[in-house]
Amino acid sequence: MRLTSLATTLLLGLALGSCSHGISGVNSSDPYVAEQARKAQDLQTQYDAQQKTVDTEKDRLKALKLQLDGAKQNLKGRKLATNR
């Protein structure tokens, strides 16, 4: 599952890579400016993809915590019911 979410996030990041992310200069006539703008754009795309991965993992962690808490509560209830 983890590889699937990572692959999905990377594909989404690549799809978003065509957007400029507000970074201007990619089409500059100055080759240095154009190259630096492309580097900044690539880094922004990587950052955005990584942030999406982090957000996805945080959501997954919250869900696991809720499942764990529920399982502990269920175990506690079962133990109480068994000891009667």
Q: Structural domain of residue 65, as residue ranges?
A: 2-82
Number of domains, the chain: 1
Lowest mean pLDDT among 19-23, 51-55, 68-72: 19-23
Task: Name, of 29-33, 41-45, 79-83, the range with top average pLDDT.
Answer: 41-45
Q: pTM of this prediction?
A: 0.60
40: burial class by Cβ within 10 Å (0-12, 13-18, 19+)?
middle
3-state secondary structure of 24: coil
Distances from the Cα of 61 to the Cα of 1, 65, 74, angstroms: 14, 6, 20
- CA–CA separation, 9 vs 50, rounded Å? 8
Cβ atoms within 10 Å of 39's Cβ, excluding its own: 11
